[in-house]
Amino acid sequence: MAFSAATKRSRSIGAILYNRLLPNTCSRTFTSEASSSSSSSSSNQMNLIKQLRERTSAPIKDVKAALMDSNWDIDAAQTELRKRGKVLASKKSARTATEGLLALAHTHNRAALIELNCETDFVARNDIFQHLALCLAKQTLLVENGTQQSGGAGGFHVGAENLKKTTPSPSALL
């Protein structure tokens, strides 16, 4: 009894313990089979999971499923994860963002009003989200043709480096 309880606690991956009754005896013996190929393949699989997770930042569950579906080919699994990501993104794109806030930035002769939408009011009340809206409003003041009155038609690209130049980091708000 003590031996079986100890083996349950200290069972390692790749080692299989089983109870076998030998012929012509009334005592039981425990034998262990540990295949070196199974332990090396499991460590190889763990390395593949780790590499793909570093490449894609996908959840471990999705990474392992993609690797198993692609027969442990890391490039095929990465392609599979991209396909799954596009499907998830298309599902989420149909949702409406009904919450949000307005941000106003102005100088002595110009003003910019930004509407930034989100799905929940919790996000809209977040300091980082409010900081983003204010940064976008300030960034619109820096655009050369910012004097247009466009009902959402005058779009422009704001890079992360431009946002960093405009205002302090959001960590200063916290």
Pair 103, 143 in one domain? yes
- Residue finishing a domain among 93, 108, 124: 93
Give mean pLDDT, residues 47-56: 90
CATH number at residue 76: 1.10.8.10
Band (1; pLDDT cuts 50, 70, 90): very low
Pair 71, 106 in one domain? no
* Tens digit of each residue's pLDDT (9 = 90 or more) over 126-172: 999 999 999 999 888 887 654 555 555 556 666 666 656 655 555 55
Question: Global pTM?
Answer: 0.44
The total number of structural domains in the chain stands at 3
Pair 20, 48 in one domain? no
Pair 49, 28 in one domain? no
The average confidence (pLDDT) of the chain is 74
| DSSP-assigned states of every residue in the chain | -HHHHHHHHSPPTTEEEEEEE-TT-SSEEEEEEE-HHHHHHHHHHHHHHHHHHHHH---HHHHHHHHHHTTT-HHHHHHHHHHHHHHHHHHHHTS---EEEEEEEE-SS-EEEEEEEES-HHHHT-HHHHHHHHHHHHHHHTSTTTT---SS-------HHHHHHHS--GGGT-
Pair 24, 81 in one domain? no
Which residue range forms the structural domain that includes residue 122?
A: 99-172
Band (90; pLDDT cuts 50, 70, 90): confident
Pair 28, 62 in one domain? no
For residue 124, pLDDT beyond 90: yes
* Tens digit of each residue's pLDDT (9 = 90 or more) over 19-29: 555 555 555 55
Pair 105, 164 in one domain? yes
